[in-house]
Amino acid sequence: MHTIEHWIAGSPAAGRGSRTAPVFDPATGRQRASVLLAEPADVDAAVTAAAKAFDSWSESSLSTRMRVMFAFRELLVRHEDELARIISAEHGKVLDDARGEVVRGREVVEFACGIADALKGDYSAQYSRTATAPPCSPATAARRGGSSAGCRSG
């Protein structure tokens, strides 16, 4: 029977303990695998690896992060059927429902892929009549052909 190991620092890890728990197929009630149970040292190793990964990820540029997210999206598309089968086996869902979960997850990733537009710091003119318009910079006024319509003075 297959034993599911821990995943630490980007690769499978057997961990320090030997305790396992059964993994059941919810659709059939039959055991399909065993999963290793973590010991405190395994949790510490996972947290240390995550903190190290965060250090490098947090220093990544927005364009680098976007490339990673687009690559992740492509993997979701390419492996949609395989992921749906895994979800079906692990959660007892019918295959079409499981595929819907994959699609909804991909939609979240696609939203994250467009986050650069949300972070660019632009504003929507005429969004609210009660909001005070921002002052126009000389560059904005020049783009508007010298017009300061929609901008507050000073």
pLDDT at 124: 61
Question: What pLDDT score was predicted for residue 52?
Answer: 94
Task: Give CA–CA dist 76/102, Å, rounded.
Answer: 8
Q: Which residues of 60-92 are buried (b: 16+ CB within 10 A; e: fewer)?
A: eeeeebbeebeeebeebeeebeebbeebbbeee
Element spanning 141, H or E: helix 138-143
Q: Around 7, how many Cα atoms within 13 Å sit in the side-chain half-sphere?
A: 2
Task: Identify the pLDDT of residue 151.
Answer: 61
CA distances from 88 to 4, 29, 57, 92, 100 (A): 17, 13, 32, 5, 11
pLDDT value at residue 29 = 86
Give me the pLDDT at residue 46, please: 96
The closest of 79, 73, 75, 88 to 27, measured between CA atoms, is 88
Is pTM beyond 0.85 here?
A: no
CB 20 within 8 A of CB 5: no
Give the span between the Cα atoms of 151 and 131, in whole angstroms: 11
End-to-end CA distance of the chain: 73
pLDDT along the chain (154 residues), means of 10: 92 92 86 93 96 92 90 96 91 90 95 78 59 62 63 57
Distance CA 93, CA 111 (A): 25
Give the per-residue pLDDT at 25: 83
pLDDT recorded at residue 93? 85
pLDDT at 92: 80
